[in-house]
Every structure is written in C-alpha cells, then in structure tokens.
Amino acid sequence: MSINIYTIKHPLVLHWSSYLSNPSISIGNKNEVSNKVYLALLYEASRRSLDVTRLYIKYFSKTQEISLISRTKCYLFCSDIHISHEINKDAKYLIPNILVKQILLDFENNQWKILKAHSMLPVNLTESQVIILEHQLNTKRLRPVIEYILQCASYDVPIQICCYICKQVELESLSNQYPKLEIYTCIIDDKV
C-alpha cells in the first residue's frame, strides 16, 4: 500500500470513539461527540501544512509577538450534509482560511456522480490544501470527488481524507488508484 495512513490515538479521540460505539446514547449526544472527532481529524490533517509567521511589534517598554497563519486556501469537501453543517463554524475557528464545500452525490446507473448544478465547487484548486471529510470511507463514493479535485488542481496538490472509520479493503482499493493520498482515521476495520 503506497498511501499514507494515520490513525489518531489521542486519548480523547479514543474515549470519544468508544463512547460512539455505545448503542444507548442519544442522537444529539452522538452528533456532538462525532463533531469533536471530526475536528480532531481536521486538526491532525492540517497541522503540518499550516504555516505560521511571527510578527514582532516593538513598543517603548516591551516587544509583543503575534503569530499569523498563512493565507493559503484550504478547501474542505464533504458529501454528508449533516457533517458539513455541524462542522462549518467550528472548522473556521480551527483553520481560519478554510472554505467548506458541500458536494451532493447521486447514485445512478450503478455509479456515483457529482450533482454539479447543486454543488458549489471551486474551479481552481492549485496551491491549496484539500481535505475530504467523511464518516466512513467508501471508495466508489469518493472516486468522483477525487477525480474532480484532480481535474481542478495539479497532481502535486496533496489530498487528505479524514474519516471516522475505514475498512482495510477500501484502503487497498484506494491505494491502487490514488497512491499520493493521506488518510486520517480513528478506526481501521479488518472485517470484509
């Protein structure tokens, strides 16, 4: 497998993951905890690519240091309307220059397609960070999204996929077609 896979082992994320596996929790609590997990995944995906510039302001009596995040655009693509709605505001606190893009997908003729008329998609993704956020990794569902991103960007643009859970089979399928992906996940399921 040539893709990079990162499993998040932070104690809070592990606690949240075990909490989400409890079938007796309410949907409201499940959505709130899921949002925390998605933010942790976004943080992990973006922390190495965010550049910080230090600005020093000299006063008469002291020097103050201010850290500024680079203005490089970061696009977050999400095909789940519930996830994109919940994460939109919190993602902007985490990454100020993030643009959350909702992608609507349709399953027809035994394959997934992007409904471009109903999706607000950027035309140019060069020199941008691209993150795809999903609850569960589904290669067939992600394929049109990745193809669209590759059409709008140079092949050098790293594509990062954040998902709560992924199956080993899906990872192998994805690595055969797209070897330069970075995948951030909480759980890798070995079951077929």
- Closest Cα to residue 112, out of 159, 145, 75? 145
pLDDT value of position 154: 67
pLDDT digits (tens, 9 = 90+) for 47-76: 877 778 888 898 889 999 988 877 778 889
CA diameter of the chain: 70
Residue 1 confidence (pLDDT) above 50:
no
Structural element, H or E, at residue 101: strand 98-102
Domain tally for the chain?
1
Write out pLDDT tens, residues 108-123: 898 999 887 777 777 7
pLDDT of res. 155 = 64
User: With 60 as the cut, is the pLDDT of residue 192 above it?
Assistant: no
Q: Which of 2-6, 60-64, 144-148 has the lowest mean pLDDT?
A: 2-6
pLDDT tens string 17-53: 999 988 899 988 998 999 999 999 999 998 877 778 8
DSSP-based three-state secondary structure for 5:
strand
The SS3 of residue 24 is coil
Domain that holds residue 89: 4-189
Q: What is the pLDDT of residue 184?
A: 94
* Average pLDDT for 141-160: 84
Residue-wise pLDDT tens digits, 72-114:
788 899 988 888 888 888 888 888 888 898 888 988 898 999 8
Evaluate whether 174 touches 151 at the Cβ level (below 8 Å): no
Dihedral sign, CA of 84, 86, 92, 95?
A: negative
DSSP string, 105-138: EEEETTEEEE-TTTS---S--TT-EEEEEEEE--
Put simply, whether the predicted model's pTM sits higher than 0.75 gets the answer yes
Output the domain CATH number for residue 107.
Answer: 3.40.50.2020
